[in-house]
Structure 1
Amino acid sequence: MAELLNCPNCNALFVQNSVRDVCEACYKAEQVQFETVYTYIKKRENRTATIDQVIDHTGIEKELLLKFIRTGKLKLAQFPNLGYPCAKCGDLIREGKLCSSCNTALKGQLNALEKEETRKQSVEHRSTYFTKR
């Protein structure tokens, strides 16, 4: 369902839909910047450029470049040195939200929590019986 929002870039009112999260004017500006970035990195000598090199040569903001990568506008399979930061530690990743080490650590913490919950339940269900002497 469409929703009336203020544009996060220019504060103009717009109707948000599944395609756009900014107003029409900002969307067109983003498209121009995307074309600039894509024109730069599709050249053979620039395909191995890092995020910092792309930012330096195109003048695009880092957050906008990361948005292009996260939304899939830039296909990472074609550009081996591009990626986005892990949500926890900030290491450069190419898929998901967490890097493999953070993912492993999180799974370990969840397993430990599950074991602790199981232990607590087993302690709560134990019955103590008293006898008269």
Structure 2
Amino acid sequence: MAELANCPNCGKLYVKNSVRDVCEDCYREEEAAFERVFQFLRKRENRAATIETIVEKNNVPEKLVFKWVRSGRLLIAHFPNLAYPCDRCGKLIQSGKLCEECAKTIAKDLERFEKEKKRQEEIRKKTYHIK
């Protein structure tokens, strides 16, 4: 369902929906920037460009390039040096939301939490209550 929101780029009021997360004017600017970047990357000599090179040569914000890679508009299969930051630590990754290390850490933390929860439950079962 659509709702009113302020554009995160310019602050204008717009109708937010599942397709766009910015106002119409900012969306047009993003699309023009995407077209510039895509044309840049289509050239054979630029296919292995890094995020820093793309930002520098095309005058686009780094967060926009990350957004396009994360959403799949710029495919890593075609442009192997593209990546985006892990949601937890910021390390550059090419798929998912978390890097391998963060995913392992979270899995270990969950495992420890579950063990502690079971231990507390066992203690609670063995405890006698006097009325």
Q: Give the TM-score band, short-chain normalised.
A: over 0.9
Partner of 2:48: 48
Q: Which amino acid aligns with 1:16?
A: K
Q: Which amino acid aligns with 2:60?
A: I
Q: Which amino acid aligns with 2:107?
A: K
State the Cα deviation string for residues 81-132 of structure 1 (Å, max 9, x = none): 1010111221110111110111011101110111011011101100459xxx
- Between structure 1 and structure 2, the one with the greater Rg is 1
State the Cα deviation string for residues 30-73 of structure 1 (Å, max 9, x = none): 00000011011111111111111111111111111111112221
- For structure 2, the 5+ residue unaligned runs are none
Q: Which amino acid aligns with 2:62?
A: K
Q: What TM-score comes out, normalization by structure 2 length?
A: 0.93
Q: Which amino acid aligns with 1:92?
A: L
| In the alignment, structure 1 residue 68 sits paired with structure 2 residue 68 | yes
State the Cα deviation string for residues 15-37 of structure 1 (Å, max 9, x = none): 11111111111100100000011
How far the C-alpha of 1:7 sits from its partner, in A, is 1.1
Large movers: runs of 4+ above 4 Å:
none
For residue 78 of structure 1, give the secondary structure of its aligned residue in structure 2. coil
- For structure 1, the 5+ residue unaligned runs are none
CA RMSD after TM alignment: 1.4
Partner of 2:88: 88
How far the C-alpha of 1:12 sits from its partner, in A, is 1.4
CA distance in 1, matches of 2:112, 2:93: 26
CA distance in 1, matches of 2:25, 2:122: 60
Q: What TM-score comes out, normalization by structure 1 length?
A: 0.91
For residue 110 of structure 2, give the secondary structure of its aligned residue in structure 1. helix
For residue 125 of structure 1, give the secondary structure of its aligned residue in structure 2. helix
CA distance in 1, matches of 2:110, 2:40: 43
Number of aligned pairs? 129
